Chains A and B, each alone.
Chain A
Amino acid sequence: MRGAARAIRLWWASKGPGTMWIVSTTERRQWLVMEPSNSGPEALCRARVAAAGRCLPPTHLSTADLMASMRHRTNIDLERLTGIHERRVSDGRDDSLTLAVGAARDCLAHSGHGAEDLDAVISCSITKFHDGLVQWLEPPMSVAVANAIGSHHAVTFDVSNACAGMLTGVFILNNWIRQGLIRRGMVVSGEYISPLERNASAHIRSILSKELASLTLGDAGAALILERAADDAAGIGLIGFTTIAEHSRLCLAYPASHEAGARMFTRSQALQRAAIKDTIPLLKEVLDAAGLAISDIDHVIPHQTSARAIRKGMAEVTRALGGEPRRPAVETVDHFGNTASTTHTVALIEEMEAGRVAAGDQVALVALASGLVLGVVLFTADEELVGSYGNHD
C-alpha cells in the first residue's frame, strides 16, 4: 500500500493550495464545545441520567500498607500529602472487563431496564486489562461488555480520553439522545489501574518522582445510563468540553518495559496549576450559558486526584466566582483514591447512597484529565434517579 498512499498524497499535493482560507466556520462564541449550542436547532428532547452503577473490588489497601511496601525508603507522608487513607484494589481476580461488567449490571439493576433496552454501549476506560495484565487494543472492550450483559443489538465502541473518558461518552450519548438518534444508552468503564501503583512503588525514590501520582490510584468499575427524558423533565442541562493541548505532555503513561502493566509519569504541580487556571474561566462560561451562579449548584463533583488539590481548586473557584456551591465539593478520594475515568460516577453514587442528593438538586460533574481535558456536565437529579438509591424526599 505504501506506493498507493504516496500516489494519493502526490495526487492531493498536485491540487496545490487554494486562495481562499477559512479561519473559522463556526458561530460558536465560547471557548468550550458546548451543547446545547447558541446557534443550533431546537433539540427533539432532553436526556436524563437514568441510573448509575459501580463495582468496587473488595480488597482495601491502606496508604500506610502501600507505603510500607515501597522498595525504596522515601519518607513520603502520602496520606498527609493527598488525604488518601485507603483505596480499593483488585487482588487479580477482577480486571478492567470484569469491573466494567459488574458496574454495568449494577447500573441496569438500578434502572429497571434490561440490557436489550440499550441502543448504545460505550466503554471508556484507560485500562483495558483482561486475561491477566494484557492491555486489549482489539476487539473493542465495549463489544465484550455488551455481550456479557446480554445487550445484543446496541451500537458499541470504545472512547479513550484519559480520566475524562466516561464524561466524554456522556457528551456523545447526550448528543445522540437529544436528536432522537437513540432512546437509551450506557457509558461504562472498568479501571484496573492499581498495577501502575505497584510498578511505581518499586521505582519511587523521593517525593520528586514523576510517578508519585500513581500512588493515588484505586480500582473501580462504573456505569451510567442516559435516556430520553419526559417532556417536562429537567435532565442534563448543559455539557461543555475543551482540550488545552499545549499541556498534553504533562501526564504520559506507557506499558512498563519489563514489568506487567504500565507506568505513568506526571508533572503533577504543573498539571494542577494549569488545571486550576483554566478551569475557572471555563466553569464561568458554563454557568453563564446555563444562566446559573455557582451558588445555584448543589453538588460539585470534581475529578478525585487528592483532597488537597480539590480544596485548593474550590478555594480558587470561590474567590474568582464570588460564591460557592451549596455544599462543599464532594470528596471520595480519601477512601477510594483516584479511580481514573470512574471517579465522578463512584462519587455520585456515594452521595446518593448517603442520602445527600435530593430530587431537583443541581449536580456539576467537573472533568480534569490528561490532555489537558477540561469539561463540565450539568444535570438535575430527578426523583427516579435518587429514588433508585433509596433516597426519597
Chain B
Amino acid sequence: MGTTIDGIAVVGGSWRSRHRALRLAVAATGAALEDARLQPAAVDILINAGIYHDRNLGEPALAPLIQADSGINAGDPTPGRIGTFSFDVANGGSGVLTALRIADGFLRSRTVATVVIVAEDADPGFGLAADFPFEPAAGAVVCRWTDTEPGLVSFRWHNRPDDGAAFRAGIGLRHGRNVLSVHEDPDFAEQAAETAVVPAREVLRDHGLGGDDIDLLVCSPAAPAFTKKMAMELALPDDRIVAAGPALHTAAFIAALAAARQHSRLSEARNVLFVCGGAGLTAGAALYRP
C-alpha cells in the first residue's frame, strides 16, 4: 500500500508562453490528468510548488488560479459533488518533493484519493525580472493511493542555512522599479549536493540499503556538479542517475521523473531514490518503490 505517481507531464514554454507561468501550469496539469486517465473533477487537492509567476503575483496563491483555469471543481459547492482544495508550497528546488510528502500524508490517511502537484516557473514579463535565469516550463504529476504497491515509503530532510548566500531571489526596488532578481553562486549546485547527500544516506540507512540496491536515482537540480557529486557520494554508476532540464527550476524534478519513465525504467525499478536540493540550503530524499 502506498502513494504512487500515476500521471506525469512536462510542458516547455514557447515564445508566446514564455511569460505565462499560469498558462504553462494549466497545460501541464491537463496533460498529467490525461496521462492518468482522470477527469479534472476527480482532483481532491491541487498543490503548486512553482515559484516564479506571471507579473510576480503575490496573492492569491497560484494554485486556485490553476484550479480555476483547469476547470477543476471551480464552482460553488453543489450537493452530491466533491470540491477541491488548492494551495502553494514553496521550498525552492525541493518544492515538488515537499509537495509529494504532503500529498502522501493526505492519501495515506485516505482524506483524499487524488492529488495533483504542479510546478512551473517563467519570467514574470513586463520587464519585471532582471536576467531571469530559468527556461519557462511546467510539470505536473498525479498522485493516488494504491493497495497493491509500496509507492512512496520514506522521506528525509536536511537544512544547512546559509542566509541565501548560495541562492537567493527576491523582488525589490531597483532603479525605481520593483523587479525580481535571482542570484546563484557558481558553487550552488555542489553545495546543494553536499546538503542532499545527508538525507539520501539517511533514507538508505533507514532501509538497510546500499548504493548497489538503488536501481535509479531521480534528482534535481540537473546541473552536472550536482549529479556527479551525488553519483560519487552514493557510489552510483552514471547510468542509474536520471536528471533533466539543467535550465529548469522547480519543474526539473518532474522532468527527471518523466525522463525516468521513458523506456519503462521507472516502472521496472525496485528501489528508486528521489533526491532534491535547493536554496536554503535545504534538501530532501525519498524512497519510491513503484
Name A residues whose Cβ lies closer than 8 Å to a Cβ of B: 1-6, 8-9, 11-12, 15, 17-18, 20-37, 39-41, 43, 126-127, 130-140, 142-144, 146-147, 152, 155-162, 164-165, 168, 172, 175-176, 178-179, 181, 241-246, 248-249, 251-260, 262, 264, 274, 277-278, 281-282, 369-373, 375
Q: Which of A144, A157, A159, A282 has the most CB of B within 10 A?
A: A157
Is there an interface contact between B170 and A245, defined as CB atoms closer than 8 Å? Answer: no
A152 surroundings in chain B (CB, below 8 A) = 159
A253 surroundings in chain B (CB, below 8 A) = 57-59
Expressed in whole angstroms, the minimum distance between the Cβ of A208 and any Cβ of chain B is 21
A281 surroundings in chain B (CB, below 8 A) = 77
A115 to B165 CA separation, bound complex (whole angstroms): 24
User: Known contacts A126-B59, A134-B172; is A33 also within 8 Å of B112 by CB?
Assistant: yes
Q: Which of A18, A21, A27, A255 has the most CB of B within 10 A?
A: A255
Interface residues of B in 244-272 (CB under 8 A from A): 244-248, 255, 258-259, 262
A147 surroundings in chain B (CB, below 8 A) = 159, 161
- Identify B177's interface contact among A26, A243, A257, CB under 8 A: A257
User: Known contacts A12-B9, A134-B171, A156-B159; is A254 also within 8 Å of B57 by CB?
Assistant: yes
A277 surroundings in chain B (CB, below 8 A) = 76
Chain B interface secondary structure, helix, strand, loop or mixed? Answer: mixed
B45 surroundings in chain A (CB, below 8 A) = 33
Q: Which of B95, B113, B144, B167 has the most CB of A within 10 A?
A: B113
Interface membership of B273, Cβ < 8 A = no
A21 surroundings in chain B (CB, below 8 A) = 37-39
- Identify A25's interface contact among B38, B159, B162, CB under 8 A: B38
A12 surroundings in chain B (CB, below 8 A) = 8-10, 31, 35, 258
Interface membership of B82, Cβ < 8 A = yes
Is there an interface contact between B86 and A371, defined as CB atoms closer than 8 Å? Answer: yes
User: Known contacts A37-B111, A156-B159, A245-B84; is A139 also within 8 Å of B89 by CB?
Assistant: no
Stretch at the interface among B204-212, B224-232, B234-242, B274-282: B274-282
Interface membership of B55, Cβ < 8 A = yes
Interface membership of B191, Cβ < 8 A = no
Interface membership of B64, Cβ < 8 A = yes
A262 to B128 CA separation, bound complex (whole angstroms): 13
User: Known contacts A159-B89, A243-B67, A245-B84; is A139 also within 8 Å of B279 by CB?
Assistant: yes
User: Known contacts A12-B35, A135-B172; is A1 also within 8 Å of B137 by CB?
Assistant: yes
Is there an interface contact between B11 and A39, defined as CB atoms closer than 8 Å? Answer: no
Is there an interface contact between B44 and A18, defined as CB atoms closer than 8 Å? Answer: no
A37 to B57 CA separation, bound complex (whole angstroms): 33
Expressed in whole angstroms, the minimum distance between the Cβ of A173 and any Cβ of chain B is 10
B105 surroundings in chain A (CB, below 8 A) = 172, 175-176, 179, 181
Is there an interface contact between A137 and B51, defined as CB atoms closer than 8 Å? Answer: yes
A162 surroundings in chain B (CB, below 8 A) = 59-61
User: A9-B9, A139-B167 given. 14 additional CB < 8 A pairs?
Assistant: A9-B12, A26-B113, A26-B114, A35-B111, A137-B180, A139-B279, A143-B159, A147-B161, A156-B91, A165-B87, A243-B84, A244-B75, A244-B83, A282-B77
Expressed in whole angstroms, the minimum distance between the Cβ of A331 and any Cβ of chain B is 23
Is there an interface contact between A5 and B10, defined as CB atoms closer than 8 Å? Answer: yes
Interface residues of B in 39-76 (CB under 8 A from A): 39, 41-42, 44-46, 51-52, 55-61, 63-65, 67-68, 72-76
A17 to B37 CA separation, bound complex (whole angstroms): 8
Interface residues of B in 87-124 (CB under 8 A from A): 87-92, 94-95, 98, 101-102, 105-106, 108-114
A249 surroundings in chain B (CB, below 8 A) = 65, 68
Is there an interface contact between A5 and B282, defined as CB atoms closer than 8 Å? Answer: no
A172 to B178 CA separation, bound complex (whole angstroms): 33
Is there an interface contact between B161 and A245, defined as CB atoms closer than 8 Å? Answer: no
Name B residues whose Cβ lies closer than 8 Å to a Cβ of A: 8-13, 31, 34-35, 37-39, 41-42, 44-46, 51-52, 55-61, 63-65, 67-68, 72-78, 81-92, 94-95, 98, 101-102, 105-106, 108-114, 128, 135, 137, 144, 157, 159, 161-164, 167-173, 176-178, 180, 182, 244-248, 255, 258-259, 262, 278-282, 284
Is there an interface contact between B56 and A255, defined as CB atoms closer than 8 Å? Answer: yes
Is there an interface contact between A158 and B89, defined as CB atoms closer than 8 Å? Answer: yes
Is there an interface contact between A143 and B161, defined as CB atoms closer than 8 Å? Answer: yes
B279 surroundings in chain A (CB, below 8 A) = 138-140
A127 surroundings in chain B (CB, below 8 A) = 58
Q: Which of B11, B110, B111 has the most CB of A within 10 A?
A: B111
Chain A's closest residue to B81 (CB) is A31
- Identify A245's interface contact among B8, B72, B244, CB under 8 A: B72
Expressed in whole angstroms, the minimum distance between the Cβ of B101 and any Cβ of chain A is 8
Expressed in whole angstroms, the minimum distance between the Cβ of A167 and any Cβ of chain B is 10
A243 to B66 CA separation, bound complex (whole angstroms): 11
Is there an interface contact between A132 and B157, defined as CB atoms closer than 8 Å? Answer: no
User: Known contacts A27-B113, A254-B55; is A137 also within 8 Å of B169 by CB?
Assistant: yes
Is there an interface contact between A30 and B60, defined as CB atoms closer than 8 Å? Answer: no
- Identify B109's interface contact among A134, A175, A243, A278, CB under 8 A: A175
Is there an interface contact between B245 and A146, defined as CB atoms closer than 8 Å? Answer: no
Is there an interface contact between B88 and A160, defined as CB atoms closer than 8 Å? Answer: yes
B8 surroundings in chain A (CB, below 8 A) = 12
Expressed in whole angstroms, the minimum distance between the Cβ of A250 and any Cβ of chain B is 9
B41 surroundings in chain A (CB, below 8 A) = 23-24
Is there an interface contact between A160 and B87, defined as CB atoms closer than 8 Å? Answer: yes
B84 surroundings in chain A (CB, below 8 A) = 33, 242-243, 245
B144 surroundings in chain A (CB, below 8 A) = 25
Is there an interface contact between A160 and B176, defined as CB atoms closer than 8 Å? Answer: no
Is there an interface contact between A18 and B109, defined as CB atoms closer than 8 Å? Answer: no
A369 surroundings in chain B (CB, below 8 A) = 60
